[in-house]
Amino acid sequence: MKILIADDEYLEREMLESILEKHFGSEVQIRMAENGRQAVDIAAIWNADVILMDIEMPGINGMEAARRILDPGSGVKLIFVTAYGVFTYAQEAVKLGACDYILKPIQPEEVIRAVVRAVGQAESHRQLEALAPEANALDGGVSDKAAPLIARVEKYLQHNYMLFDISLDSVSAILNINPSYFSSLFKRSTGINFVDYLTNLRIQAAQELLQDPLRSTAEVARLVGYENANYFTRTFKKKTGMTPTDFRRSTARSRAGQQL
């Protein structure tokens, strides 16, 4: 696993490297960049799996470096690391295709969680692409051949539900099969249609995130794949019977009652 660490602060780079090496050991190769320009240059010649990118760096900042590094065909997963807990940064990070962001001061468990998540996304995407020939060979209906394919699709969705552009059409494109056929195959195999399956994953993740009182509803919406916070609120209420705010209050009351 190739990981690029881009941060203009020496101690921050060393800390991140230490956390990753301690947890992953020989499973990782690590390179360093002292600024955004170096990050862009290294990314151009070194096929990193994951980039940990500071946002505030002199010259080319992390956001601009990410714009130059990421492209539609890129398999790299980007995690922003920043001391600025500003929601506009989170918005921009998600729009650029970042899979996560971490606030300084760095907590080792958050770094590991973000990297494991990023690697899971990349691996599930590669595995799904590898199944395209099998998807094209299916002769219709649910069969023994279809079962492992749909199981892999489910795993892909579990790792990637937070992506804005994930959809029935995008997954069908990866598999190179007709969207209508894929939709029928998915529902016959799982008993639930694709959109409902994806929505359930997102709402379950949102319920976890809403337990953090420091996260706004709009931020939670973006972290689980919804660009429009109002649409997220309507969807959340339809699925749970409560608005995100009501759910947060109910959870807080429940916790308070348990402590008495």
Cα–Cα dist 135/112, whole Å? 34
- Claim to verify: residue 6 and residue 117 sit in the same structural domain: yes
Does 89 share its domain with 136?
A: no
Residues 174 and 63 in one domain: no
138 and 235 housed in the same domain = no
Q: Are residues 204 and 182 in the same domain?
A: no
Q: Identify the domain boundary among 191, 211, 238.
A: 191
DSSP type of residue 234: H
Are residues 104 and 138 both part of a single domain? no
- Count of alpha carbons within 13 Å of 105, Cβ hemisphere only? 1
User: Does residue 126 lie within any of the structural domains?
Assistant: no
User: Domain of 154?
Assistant: 131-191
Asked if residue 112 and residue 50 are part of one domain, the reply reads yes
The answer to whether residues 172 and 141 belong to one domain is yes
Local structure of 76: helix, strand or coil: coil
The reply to whether 181 and 207 lie within a common domain is no
pLDDT tens for the 260 residues of the chain, in order:
899 999 999 999 999 999 999 999 999 999 999 999 999 999 889 988 899 999 888 888 888 898 888 875 567 888 988 876 655 666 676 677 777 888 888 899 989 988 988 888 878 878 888 878 877 777 555 456 788 889 889 988 998 898 877 899 989 988 888 899 899 989 988 999 999 999 999 999 999 999 988 888 988 998 898 989 999 999 999 999 999 999 999 988 877 666 65
CATH, residue 218: 1.10.10.60
Give 175: exposed, middle or buried? Use CB within 10 Å, 0-12, 13-18, 19+.
buried
Q: Do residues 10 and 116 both lie within one domain?
A: yes
CATH number where 17 lies = 3.40.50.2300
Task: Assess whether 101 and 136 both reside in one domain.
Answer: no
Q: Pairing mode, if any, of strands 29-33 and 100-103?
A: unpaired
Residues 115 and 138 in one domain: no
Contacts of 189 (CB under 8 A, 6+ apart): 142, 146, 147, 150
pTM to 2 decimal places: 0.70
- Ordered DSSP codes for 1-58: -EEEEE-S-HHHHHHHHHHHHHHHGGG-EEEEESSHHHHHHHHHHS--SEEEEES--S
Domain boundary among 191, 220, 241: 191
User: Does 183 reside within a domain?
Assistant: yes
- Cβ of 165: how many Cβ atoms within 10 Å? 10
Domain total for the chain? 3
